[in-house]
Amino acid sequence: MSGSNDHIDDKARRYGKQAIVAAAERLQSGGLVAVPTETVYGLAADSTNASAIAEIYRTKGRPDFNPLIVHVPDLDSARKLGLFDGLAIQLAEGFWPGPLTIVVPKAPDSIVAPAVTAGLDTIALRCPAHPLMQELLKVSGLFLAAPSANKSGSVSPTIAQHVKSSLGDLTPMILDGGACKSGIESTIVAVRGENYQILRQGPITLEDLETSIGKTGITADFEQIESPGQLLSHYAPTKPVRLDVTRANIQEFHIGFGAIAGHYNLSGAGDLAEAASHLFSAMHLADSSDKSAIAVAPIPKYGIGRAINDRLTRAAT
């Protein structure tokens, strides 16, 4: 079985103005909407509405010390919420719209609800590239807090059905835009004065950042949780996960890569970007199989492979 089989829907379904308007009205009234981005499906709410943010935490079962990412339509909007200096502006101009979240000092007059930043003096901001999410931001006129649309700590959703499977009876309105392109969450970078620190690996790689900024970022250990994806155990299926497995046991669903076929191959060609786009769908498939455990083939630890291994390590913890 390969990563391109038809249980992954790669055909985006276009939504008309009516669906976008209905979703925007729901958000404006304090409701939640699950919406695709280029990374994963997000559980969106008005970032300035404290009750709506509380509903995100309740629906996900998310710890309230874990901050949320706020999605904005452009850099000008981001500057209303956070303080952007030379380096932060360089990052935004280099990678927005796209799968990069930038953590900056919170603006003194920032209007987001306190729970969004979990009491910190920093805020995580992203300008998404997905046209459906961009349209929703513009029609609603809101800045949208949108963590992944799944139960906290479980495997992130890359198609609408994953949202339904994870949230069950708590599933809100879903804008179904088909399968997400990147398939793993955004890279998160914190601005540290004149330097930067990667808080979460993602589609924007270490090499991408070094090339754009012209220097290597800070590699010190994290002093506190400043963004999603920093918890030790995260992105976890219900079954135990074993990593770097070339030959799986009979009771294991084997997720392959390259020459290791497995029951499902993330990329027979050994393409790391393709593997990343299929990772969470493969984990969902493995978790719903009749096997009692999950084994994953070795994934190279360079480029976007670092982000894949980050997710796998947290899933196995």
Question: Which one, of 189, 192, 191, 193, lies nearest residue 206 by Cα?
Answer: 189
Lowest mean pLDDT among 131-140, 217-226, 296-305: 217-226
User: Is pLDDT at 163 greater than 90 in this prediction?
Assistant: yes
Tens of pLDDT, residue by residue over 180-193, are 999 999 999 999 99
For the chain, what percent of residues have pLDDT higher than 90? 81
User: Is pLDDT at 233 greater than 80 in this prediction?
Assistant: no
User: Is pLDDT at 221 greater than 90 in this prediction?
Assistant: no
Q: Output the CA torsion sign for 285, 291, 292, 297.
A: negative
3-state helix/strand/coil string of 17-82: HHHHHHHHHHHHCCCCEEEECCCCEEEEEECCCHHHHHHHHHHHCCCCCCCCEEECCCHHHHCCCE
Please identify which residue in the block is written with the tokens 């913890």.
317
pLDDT value of residue 13: 40
Tokens representing residue 108 in the block:
């003194």
Please tell me the distance from the alpha carbon of residue 306 to that of residue 317, in angstroms, as a whole number: 17
pLDDT value of residue 75: 98
Task: Give the residue-averaged pLDDT of 205-226.
Answer: 84
pLDDT value of residue 152: 87
User: Is pLDDT at 4 greater than 90 in this prediction?
Assistant: no
Task: Give the residue-averaged pLDDT of 239-244.
Answer: 97
User: Is pLDDT at 306 greater than 50 in this prediction?
Assistant: yes
pLDDT value of residue 92: 98
Confidence band of 97 (pLDDT split at 50, 70, 90): very high
Please tell me the distance from the alpha carbon of residue 65 to that of residue 157, in angstroms, as a whole number: 22
Task: Give the residue-averaged pLDDT of 161-166.
Answer: 95
Please tell me the distance from the alpha carbon of residue 97 to that of residue 59, in angstroms, as a whole number: 28
CA distance from start to end of the chain: 27
Top-confidence residue, 22 or 65: 22
For the chain, what percent of residues have pLDDT higher than 70? 90
Confidence band of 231 (pLDDT split at 50, 70, 90): low
Confidence band of 2 (pLDDT split at 50, 70, 90): very low
Tens of pLDDT, residue by residue over 47-87, are 999 999 999 999 998 766 678 999 999 999 999 999 999 99
Tens of pLDDT, residue by residue over 113-133, are 999 998 889 999 999 999 999
